[in-house]
Chains A and B, each alone.
Chain A
Amino acid sequence: MAVVMEPPKEAQEAWEPRIVAFFCNWCTYAASDLAGISRVKYAPNMRIVRVMCSGRIDPSFVLEAFRDGADGVLIGGCNPGDCHYKEGNYKTMRRAMLLSQMLQDLGIEKERFRLDWICASCARELQTTVNHMTADLKRLGPLNWKGV
C-alpha cells in the first residue's frame, strides 16, 4: 500500500500566511504606528520592514522575500503627490506594474503582491488592507517557493 505523505491535520490548520511588508517611513509606517497607538487590530501575519521611501524598494527585495518563504509581499507608500521625496512613489507605482506582471509569469498569483497608498493617518485603511490580504492568502494557501 502506498503511503501518502500528508501534513498532520493540526499542522494544516496551524498554517498562517506570512506577509513581508515594506512601508515608507513617512506615511504607511506612521499609519501602522498609529494603528498600534489607537488599538486598531489587524491580522498578525505581517512583518514590517521600514524603508525611508517606497522608492527605495528594489524589485530584488520582493523577489528575495518570496524566495525565502513569504506568502505575500505588501508595499505601502504615500499617496500620489504626497511623497516626501517628490517622485519616489511614482517610481514604485511603475515598478510594481512591471513586477506584478513578471511575478505572474513566474507563477506567483497576483494577490500575493500588493502596492497600496496608505497615508499617515489611515490606520483603518491599513487594517482593511492587511486583513484583506491575509484572507486572500489563506484562500491561496502557502506559496512555499523553496518547495519547488
Chain B
Amino acid sequence: MAEKPKVALYWCASCGGCEEAVVDLAEAILDVVAAVDIVFWPVALDFKVSDVEALPDKAIAVSFINGAVRLSEQKEMVELLRRKSQLVVAFGSCSHLGGIPGLANLWDKASIFDWSYSKAPSMEPGATTRPMTKIQVPEGELELPEFWDTVKSLNQVIDVDYYLPGCPPTPKLIANAVQAILTGKLPPKGAVLAGTKALCSECDLNETKPDKLLIQDIKRVTEVQLDLKKCYLAQGVLCMGPVTRSGCEALCINGGMPCTGCFGPVQESPDYGGKALSFVASIVDLEDPARAQEVLAKVADPTGIFYRYSLPTSKLGRKKMPRRK
C-alpha cells in the first residue's frame, strides 16, 4: 500500500474554534483520517516539535495553520512547517486576514502589557510583573517568546498556498478543501477556497432585499425583534453580506444573526473595512448633516465593526505606533 500523505495541523494566536471545526467534521473526519497520516497536531495528538524537525524537507503534504502570528515562537513554528510542507493552507479568519486577535493592532506591546500587568483590576494591586524573554532562576536560564507590537496574518510571515476563510471555516469547506488536495484538483496558488461573489448571492433572504436598499436609521440586534424572513439590512440592522465573500451559505443569517464579515472581502475588493464603511454610509438615506451624524454615531466602533476580522491585512494594518524618544 502506498504511503499516506502526511498532514500537520497547528495553531498560533487563535481561540481554538478552528480546531473545534476540524472535530466538527464528525463522521467525515474518519474518512480523512483513513486517507491521511497526521504527523503533528498539538491540540489533539502527542507529537513533539522534534518529530517535525526530524522529517525531511517537504515531507508533509499539507499543513493547516490557524491563528494570527504575534509571538516569535509562532514565527519559528510556521517557518518550520513551511520548510517541511509542500502546501500551506491558512485556516480560518485569523490566519487568512489577522482575525479578532488582529484588533490588538489598535494597541501595541507597551500599552497591552501596561493594561494587562499594571492597570487592569487585579488581586495583587501594584504588582509589577512583566513577561521577559529571558530570566535567570536557580535551575538555569528560562526563555519566553518575544511578544510583538503588531499582529500579523500568516501570509505576512510565510508563503501561503491556499486560504480557508471563516471564523471558523465550515465543515463543508474543510471537507471540500481536503478532497481537492487529496485528488490534486486544486485551483491556482493563492486562491481562497470559498465563493468569489458576495454573501447576498447565496443568502435566502436576498429575494426580500429591496432593489434600492435605503435605511433611515441604524438599529442593533438587541433593539429590534428581527423578522427572520426579511433582509436584515432592510430592517435597519447592519449585515456585512454585501461586502463579504460567500461560501458559508449564510449560516449566521439563517441562525438569526447578521453577517459580521468573517469570510473577508470579495475577490476584487481592495480593503474590507473601506468597502464596508462605504456601503453602510451609502445606504443611510439622510441628507441633513446633523441627522446623518446622529444615525452614523450608532455605528459605535467603526474600526472594530468594519475591520473586525481584517485589521492586520488592511491598507493601514494597525494604529500608528506612538513616537517614543
Contacts and interface: CB of A to CB of B under 8 A. Distances in A.
B275 A60 contact: yes
Given A58-B274, A102-B302, A105-B106, A63 B316 contact: yes
Contact of A58 (B278, B289, B306): B278
Contact of A60 (B282, B286, B293, B315): B315
Contacts, number: 86
Contacts of B273: 59, 102
B284 A63 contact: no
Given A98-B277, A99-B277, A106 B319 contact: yes
Contacts of B315: 60, 63-64, 67
Interface residues of B, number: 31
A63 B315 CA distance: 6
Interface string A107-131: 1100000000000000000000000
B287 interface: yes
B318 interface: yes
Contacts of A59: 271, 273-275, 277-278
B274 A94 contact: no
B201 interface: no
Nearest to A91: B282
Given A102-B273, A148-B321, A91 B302 contact: no
A97 B292 contact: yes
Interface of B: 106, 270-271, 273-275, 277-278, 280-282, 284, 286-287, 289, 292-293, 296, 299, 301-303, 306, 314-316, 318-322
Interface of A: 58-60, 62-64, 66-67, 80, 87, 90-91, 93-95, 97-99, 101-102, 105-108, 143, 145, 148
